[in-house]
Amino acid sequence: MSDDLGVVPLDGPVWPTDQRRFAVPLTIGVISDTHVYANGSRRVPGEVLALFRRFRCGLIVHCGDANTGDVHDDLAEIAPLIAVVGNNDVDEVIDRLPMEAWFDVGPHRFVAIHGHGRKGQSARAVARTFADRAACVIYGHSHEPVIEQHGGAILFNPGSATDRRWHPHFGVGLIHVTDAGITPELVLYLNPAHLVNIQP
């Protein structure tokens, strides 16, 4: 059914959010490289979604390679979702998402990217190119969980929640933001069931 303007409302959550300013304190749930294919068996573990709810995340950031929009639907039910395009995303996702997303939390400037750049350039090297313009650069692509300081910026990669590849752990992230600063936290696991033991 359309409204009086002839606009047909979308069913389910609307993603991504247009919101780009968020108040502090705020906990951001960070996830990347979920690689959920329409005809595949892989899914974002329910324990990851429950973790973001348990920590009362007021924003979720997905750093690309969701592969299908179903992942974004699930995340947008928890909190406003900011997401960017990865190099493996399907057309539905590519058409709706930017390559980079800038946003502010209190006095702090953030940018989310996937991290794929020129051939042979690492995701970390791509992230570093944004470090002079943001307090925190959130990225993915490498499936490697990372927290590091580069110049005045925090570079944060949660790893992959579903596809650890050659890394020992799956990973997601929590970023706690106050007026005073940004505190990133990696949540690494071998089995999603272990996440139920992680409490705020």
Q: Helix (H, G, I), strand (E, B), or coil: what is residue 62?
A: strand
- Number of domains forming the structure of the chain: 1
* 7 pLDDT higher than 50: no
Residue 195 in any domain: the answer is: no
Domain of residue 120, residue span: 21-184
Residue 37 in any domain: the answer is: yes
Report the pLDDT value the prediction gives residue 165, as an integer from 0 to 100. Answer: 87
Residue 200 in any domain: the answer is: no
Residue 12 in any domain: the answer is: no
Percent of the chain with pLDDT over 70: 94
CA torsion 38-39-42-47 (nearest 10°) is 50
Q: How far apart are CA 191 and CA 65, in angstroms?
A: 21
pLDDT tens readout for residues 45-86: 999 999 999 999 999 999 999 998 999 999 999 999 999 999
Residue 3 in any domain: the answer is: no
pLDDT tens readout for residues 120-150: 789 999 999 999 999 999 999 999 999 999 9
Report the pLDDT value the prediction gives residue 193, as an integer from 0 to 100. Answer: 97
Residues 6+ apart with CB under 8 A from 104: 20, 21, 22, 110
Residue 25 in any domain: the answer is: yes
Q: How far apart are CA 148 and CA 139, in angstroms?
A: 12
What's the CATH code of the domain at 36?
A: 3.60.21.10
Residue 14 in any domain: the answer is: no
Residue 74 in any domain: the answer is: yes
